[in-house]
Amino acid sequence: TVLDDMSKYDHEQVVFCQDNATGLKAIIAVHNTVCGPALGGTRMWQYATGADALTDVLRLSRGMTYKNAISGLNLGGGKAVIIGNSRTDKNEALFRRFGKFVNSLSGKYITAEDVGISPQDMTWVNMETNHVAGLPGKSGDPSPVTAYGVYVGMKAAAKQQFGSDSLAGKRVAVQGVGHVGEYLVKHLTDEGAKVFITDIHEDTLKRISNTYKAEVVGLDAIYDLDMDIYAPCALGATVNDDTLSRLKCSIIAGAANNQLQQEDVHGKIVMEKGMIYTPDFMLNAGGVINCYAEVANLTPEWAMAKAEEIYNTTTSILTRSIQENIPTYAIANKMAEERIEALGKVKLSY
Ligand code: NAD
């Protein structure tokens, strides 16, 4: 049942939103508000079943609790899903009705964009509630902040692995040069790293390689490259049985979510191979830091300074991983739980 699912993931509240007039079907999941109001984006997706939508929103909202907690933000974790086709089912009435549901939570949940949702959609939501971030003309594209956090975290990992945090001369392969990937390539080439790039879009590759002196490699060839650092900035689950038998890098550090195909299995193999894996949800928190700056009326400078803390957080995780002989992803989860426990004196048990 739904209540069983909720308690399995330890959620505080799940709201099912239904409106026949607009055809809205949505679920808002508030996982944990110990550190502050639950912030997380709304995803619009044509789920095959309601159960699929529920599983997704429960899983994603829990992930936001961990991301927000380890980033030191005064935010809890939440997420929403709208069941529908983001190309054909969008209209003002639907999003305003959704906004009324968000508003009914009185600020316990703050929404933003996720897959399938644009800033324009959020302006409709904003007509009914102020509990929304990612509006046009506000904090804007989070990618520069995300890329900066990934870059400083990568440097912290280099310090641990190579004894210096300089990336000059290091061979770094960036998989996916979209919004975040491009900013990351700029930081890396500015510092004198030898950068390799791959992407499914030829025109993007051509533009980036010309602008930043990065060398293009094949979509699959990236895994066999002689490199120091592998930076996944496109898809999840690229660290798996197949790629781990091929990757020769010392560090895995990128923006993509859920890089380890199976956290426990592949996180452990990475450690046994002597590679450093910088936990993705900590490394790519620049996006949510940017959202927080918008809702808390903080400046872009504040957001960049907060993203810079990812350097120290990475160092703490890597140090504890060695001391406790536990993979980095598990240390990151522990650190997030410790913050929540300290603030709320609640024992979480997953
Ligand atoms: P994006 O869509 O702008 O860029 C992704 C790029 O990857 C595109 O250029 C795409 O063509 C390319 N790509 C797709 N499949 C590929 C493949 N098989 N091999 C190589 N390249 C491929 O997305 P983005 O905003 O740059 O985000 C990148 C990743 O970081 C995503 O996983 C996203 O969830 C995550 N992330 C982004 C932010 C942010 O601030 N944008 C924040 C946190 C996490």
Q: Give the separation between CA 233 and CA 173, rounded to whole angstroms.
A: 10
> Closest residue (by CA) to atom 32 of ligand 1?
256
pLDDT, averaged across the chain: 95
- In sequence order, what are the residues at sequence separation of 6 or more whose Cβ sits closer than 8 angstroms to the Cβ of residue 82? 24, 25, 26, 42, 43, 44, 45, 94, 98, 116, 117
Q: Using pLDDT thresholds of 50, 70 and 90, give the confidence band for residue 349.
A: very low
Residue partners of 40: CB distance under 8 A and separation at least 6: 60, 61, 64, 77, 78, 79, 80, 109, 111, 112, 114, 288
CA distance 43 to 82: 6
Residue 155 catalytic?
Answer: no
Predicted complex ipTM exceeds 0.95: yes
Domain map (residue ranges) of the chain: 2-65+75-126, 143-338
Considering the chain, what percentage of its residues have pLDDT values greater than 70? Answer: 98
Least confident of 131-135, 282-286, 315-319: 131-135
H/E element, 146: helix 143-162
CA–CA separation, 316 and 11 (whole Å): 28
pLDDT at residue 146 greater than cutoff 90: yes
Determine the 3-state secondary structure of 93 from DSSP. Answer: helix
Residue 199 CB–ligand 1 contact under 6 Å: yes
Give every CB contact of residue 85 below 8 A, 6+ residues apart in sequence: 44, 46
- pLDDT, residue 121, reads 94
Q: What is the DSSP letter of 171?
A: E
CB of 307 closer than 6 angstroms to any ligand 1 atom: no
Query: What fold characterizes domain 143-338?
Result: Rossmann fold (3.40.50)
Say if ligand 1 is within 6 A of residue 144 CB: no
| Through-space distance between the first and last CA atoms of the chain, rounded to whole angstroms | 19
The answer on pLDDT for 212 being more than 80 is yes
Q: C-alpha angle 259/289/72, rounded to 5°?
A: 90
Tell me what the mean pLDDT of segment 255-265 comes to: 94
d(CA 286, CA 327): 23
219 pocket-lining for ligand 1 (C-beta < 6 Å): yes
- Over residues 181-193, the mean pLDDT reads 98
Q: 65 pLDDT exceeds 90? A: yes
Tokens of 248: 């020769």
**Cα–Cα distance for residue pair 321/257, rounded to 1 Å:** 21
Ligand 1 atom nearest the C-alpha of 198 is 20
How deeply is 163 buried, as exposed, middle or buried, from its count of CB atoms within 10 A (0-12, 13-18, 19+)? exposed
- The pLDDT tens digits of the residues spanning 82-134 come to 999 999 999 999 999 999 999 999 999 999 988 899 989 999 999 999 999 98
Distance in angstroms (rounded) separating the CA atoms of residues 76 and 85: 28
pLDDT the model gives residue 135: 87
User: Tens of pLDDT along 2-18?
Assistant: 777 777 778 999 999 99
Do 2-65+75-126 and 143-338 come out as alike in CATH topology?
yes
Residue 348, pLDDT > 70, answer no
Architecture of domain 2-65+75-126: 3-Layer(aba) Sandwich (3.40)
Shortest-distance Cα residue to atom 4 of ligand 1: 178
* CA 139 to ligand 1 centroid distance, Å: 20
Using the mean position of ligand 1's atoms as its centre, give its distance from the Cα of residue 232 in Å.
Answer: 9
Give this prediction's pTM. Answer: 0.93
